[in-house]
Amino acid sequence: FTIELDKPTGKISPHMWGVFFEDINMGADGGIYAELVKNRSFEFDEPWMGWKKLDKSPEGTFLIVNDTKRKGNARSLHVHKPFPEKLGLQNEGFRGMGVKAGEHYSFSVNYKLSKPGLKMRVELVNEQDKTIGGGTLSLVDNAGWQTASVEFTAAETTAKAKLNVWIEGTGDAAFDMLSLFPKETWKNRPKGLRKDMVQILADMKPGFVRFPGGCIVEGRDLATRFQWKKTVGPIEERELIINRWNTEFKHRLTPDYFQTFGLGFYEYFLLSEDIGAEPVPILNCGMACQFNTGEVVPLDELDPYIQDALDLIEFANGAVETPWGKLRAEMGHPEPFHLKMLGVGNENWGPQYVERLDAFKKVLNDKHPEIAIIASSGTDPEGERFEFLDEKLRSMKIDIIDEHYYRPPSWFLSGAARYDDYDRKGAKIFAGEYASHTTRPNGPGRSTWEAALSEAAFLTGVERNADVVTMASYAPLFGHLDGWQWSPDLIWVDNLQVYGTPSYQVQKLYSLTKGTEIIPIKRNGANVIGQDSLYASTVYDEKSKQLVIKFVNYNSKPVQANFVLNSKKKLGTSATKITLANADLNVANSFEEPLNIQPKEEKVSYKGKRLTETFTPYSFTVIKIPVR
Ligand code: AHR
């Protein structure tokens, strides 16, 4: 293998490897958004979903009142209690509530008293109905809606706690936004995000966060498309919608899947900033999911959709004197979020997409030439849509084309040369959603080592072509063990734990060793794209002054490889070798065995410019060599 260190073929984008976030598989509600109460404001289609009454209360004691004057959150729970016996409600959480012994929790409720005299007591109970924490809130009469809260400590760790809400005394009141959060969240923001779930993303040092999806951008129909403006401002005014994944999909039924938007666009921007990633929002282009209704808005009614894009740019980057910049400042972030890219449409295709995209592009290019437009090239197992759109999008001079592929490991292995002949002059490519899918008898596959290693092989081709493929992200990102629709996923969680799949380990290694320049590596003058089941790419990182070799041995036997470095520069003698390997391609990580596939790091030493290294069976290896 010959490495031409002095002949880089292109620059690597600093935001090359990122994450694709979608509220699928309980990724947001019930996942990274740390709210523990399900249906906290009774706005789900069935207002009592997630709740049950603990007593036989007389008719008329509990009423759900629908007051359409209350913006975005019309329903509230009215309690009429002329008798002293206590009444109770129980919330089941998202497949239970994950609580940890010794950790602090904060319960809050919005209320309005029409006849004072009521008190509220909350308690967490475990699966045996034993109380494991709680507190009492006194409700003061102050006319109008107000908030009460109480903090307490949990005495036990359980993934399946429930919350009892007891109402004591006599009186009449309305309640809304009954909410329970851990005090310890990411950056300890009140009512914030699950710390462990953000941390595992931050550990990847992702270059970008693409949000909010995926198909949820499109919605099943246009009425349930994602509308970013409904996800910002006061949380209690954010109008929820049914989740597009609240459906039977790949054998899973999740009838209780709604988007409450506690995690809205402001929070997505903040998350991106927190973990040093570029924000990459994707907006609806006037078309609902073509796998569902495929509803489209008439072209002469597209303006509000385009206006949403303009207003989003103002929300992200505008001065605090502008209407949307002002809202951003009021929400706590006067500084701009430095938005640079915007996606128009997700997995949309056909001439109807091209027409709508064109309308967006004209206005965006005119008013915001600084914003790069990402266009979708759809998804299609046969690749025909890719070709149709590719041609159209290139002739429209789109900045970035978003390609999606969910294919078997064999496709990923044979696709390592996919980008070698892509047009260098035109649009850049965003490999926006990909995953290697092994098939299993009971539905889609897990992220096995076979899937992950085939991705590692494919990604050598992405890295070799990083001058044209400037962004890449695996999808979907999160799967909740008790509430998923789609698998494999990059990271699995339950109510208490989180682990990275083998694919996560591969993505993370690529991201942490991305480098700044593409360096050619050849075997007998050709790119290393699967000859003898070997794959390789090399980069140079000018910040750390390191040459990085990535090498996939997709053989059941060890392979010894000789590398010759052609360069005027010298190599340091001590290098770092990081290996992901397993002789069994069916191995996966799990909650029980989260580290079956994990990086093994060792120091290796070389002399001169000829290196010999042995690669274990079925392995992905990264070697970082200092360059002087
Ligand atoms: O990642 C899961 C889904 O796959 C996304 O929502 C969609 O864009 C694609 O079809």
**Domains along the sequence of the chain with CATH:** 1-34+188-250+272-297+340-628 (3.20.20.80), 51-182 (2.60.120.260)
Closest CA relative to residue 237, chosen from 117, 110, 362: 110
Give the DSSP per-residue string, 5-51: TT---EE--TT-B-EE--S-TTSTBTTTB----TTTTS-SSSTTTTE
What is the average per-residue pLDDT within 25-46?
A: 97
- Judged by average pLDDT, the poorest of 95-104, 162-171, 289-298, 557-566 is 289-298
- Cα–Cα distance for residue pair 22/435, rounded to 1 Å: 15
How much is the pLDDT for 385? Answer: 62
- Residue identified by tokens 């070997």 is 534
How much is the pLDDT for 476? Answer: 96
**Amino acid letter, 297:** V
Q: What is the DSSP letter of 186?
A: G
What is the average per-residue pLDDT within 50-56?
A: 93
Per-residue pLDDT reduced to its tens digit, 303-333 = 999 999 999 999 999 999 999 999 999 999 9
What are residue 446's phi and psi, to 5 degrees? -95, 165
What is the average per-residue pLDDT within 189-198?
A: 98
Note the maximum CA span of the chain: 89
pLDDT above 60 for 442: no
The continuous run of DSSP H or E covering 327 comes out as: helix 323-330
For the annotated catalytic residues, the residue numbers are 347
How much is the pLDDT for 23? Answer: 97
What is the average per-residue pLDDT within 475-485?
A: 93
Q: Is the CB of 214 under 6 A from ligand 1?
A: yes
* Nearest CA residue ID for atom 3, ligand 1: 214
Q: What value, to the nearest 5°, has the Cα angle with vertex 320 and ends 364 and 23?
A: 60
- Cα–Cα distance for residue pair 389/503, rounded to 1 Å: 29
Substitution candidate for ligand 1 out of 210, 215, 407 with most atoms within 8 A of CB: 215
289 exposure class (CB count in 10 Å sphere: 0-12, 13-18, 19+): buried
Q: State the pTM of this model.
A: 0.97
* Nearest CA residue ID for atom 7, ligand 1: 214
Q: Is the CB of 476 under 6 A from ligand 1?
A: yes
Ligand 1 midpoint to CA 103 (Å) = 36
Instruction: Look at strands 443-444 and 439-440 and give their pairing.
Output: antiparallel
Contact by Cβ (8 Å): 474, 24:
no
Task: Give the number of the atom of ligand 1 that is nearest the alpha carbon of residue 475.
Answer: 1
Closest CA relative to residue 427, chosen from 457, 404, 393: 393
* Nearest CA residue ID for atom 6, ligand 1: 214
Tokens of 502: 């083998």
3-state secondary structure 433-480: EEEECCEECCEECCCEHHHHHHHHHHHHHHHHCCCCEEEECCCCCEEE
Q: Is the CB of 379 under 6 A from ligand 1?
A: yes
Task: Give the number of the atom of ligand 1 that is nearest the alpha carbon of residue 215.
Answer: 6
Tokens of 277: 């990633």
Per-residue pLDDT reduced to its tens digit, 513-522 = 999 999 999 9
Task: Give the number of the atom of ligand 1 that is nearest the alpha carbon of residue 476.
Answer: 1
Confidence of residue 68 (pLDDT cuts 50, 70, 90): confident
Ligand 1 midpoint to CA 214 (Å) = 5
Confidence of residue 409 (pLDDT cuts 50, 70, 90): very high
Ligand 1 midpoint to CA 215 (Å) = 5
Ligand 1 midpoint to CA 546 (Å) = 36
Task: Give the number of the atom of ligand 1 that is nearest the alpha carbon of residue 291.
Answer: 10
How much is the pLDDT for 292? Answer: 82
Ligand 1 midpoint to CA 15 (Å) = 21
Ligand 1 midpoint to CA 443 (Å) = 16
Substitution candidate for ligand 1 out of 220, 347, 385 with most atoms within 8 A of CB: 347
* 241 SS3 class: strand
* Nearest CA residue ID for atom 1, ligand 1: 476
Q: Which residue has the higher pLDDT, 558 or 382?
A: 558
pLDDT above 60 for 441: no
Ligand 1 midpoint to CA 323 (Å) = 33
Q: Is the CB of 485 under 6 A from ligand 1?
A: no
Q: Is the CB of 222 under 6 A from ligand 1?
A: no
Q: Is the CB of 215 under 6 A from ligand 1?
A: yes
Give whichever of 362-366, 565-569, 573-577 has the largest mean pLDDT: 362-366
How much is the pLDDT for 251? Answer: 46
Sheet holding 546-553, edge to edge: 10-11, 517-519, 534-541, 546-553, 619-626, 574-581, 600-605
ipTM of the complex: 0.99
Contact by Cβ (8 Å): 360, 396:
no
Task: Give the number of the atom of ligand 1 that is nearest the alpha carbon of residue 406.
Answer: 4
Per-residue pLDDT reduced to its tens digit, 106-154 = 999 999 999 999 999 999 999 999 999 999 998 998 789 999 999 999 9
- Judged by average pLDDT, the poorest of 52-56, 253-257, 340-344, 484-488 is 253-257
Per-residue pLDDT reduced to its tens digit, 525-543 = 999 999 999 999 999 999 9
pLDDT above 90 for 614: yes
- Residue identified by tokens 């069994």 is 584
The continuous run of DSSP H or E covering 306 comes out as: helix 303-317
Q: Is the CB of 22 under 6 A from ligand 1?
A: yes
pLDDT above 60 for 585: yes
Per-residue pLDDT reduced to its tens digit, 349-368 = 889 999 999 999 999 999 99
pLDDT above 90 for 440: no
Q: Is the CB of 318 under 6 A from ligand 1?
A: no
Task: Give the number of the atom of ligand 1 that is nearest the alpha carbon of residue 216.
Answer: 6
Contact by Cβ (8 Å): 601, 577:
yes
Task: Give the number of the atom of ligand 1 that is nearest the alpha carbon of residue 245.
Answer: 6
Confidence of residue 383 (pLDDT cuts 50, 70, 90): low
- Cα–Cα distance for residue pair 71/350, rounded to 1 Å: 37
Q: Is the CB of 477 under 6 A from ligand 1?
A: no
Percent of the chain residues topping a pLDDT of 70: 96
pLDDT above 60 for 249: no
Q: Is the CB of 347 under 6 A from ligand 1?
A: yes
What is the average per-residue pLDDT within 458-479?
A: 98
Q: Is the CB of 186 under 6 A from ligand 1?
A: no
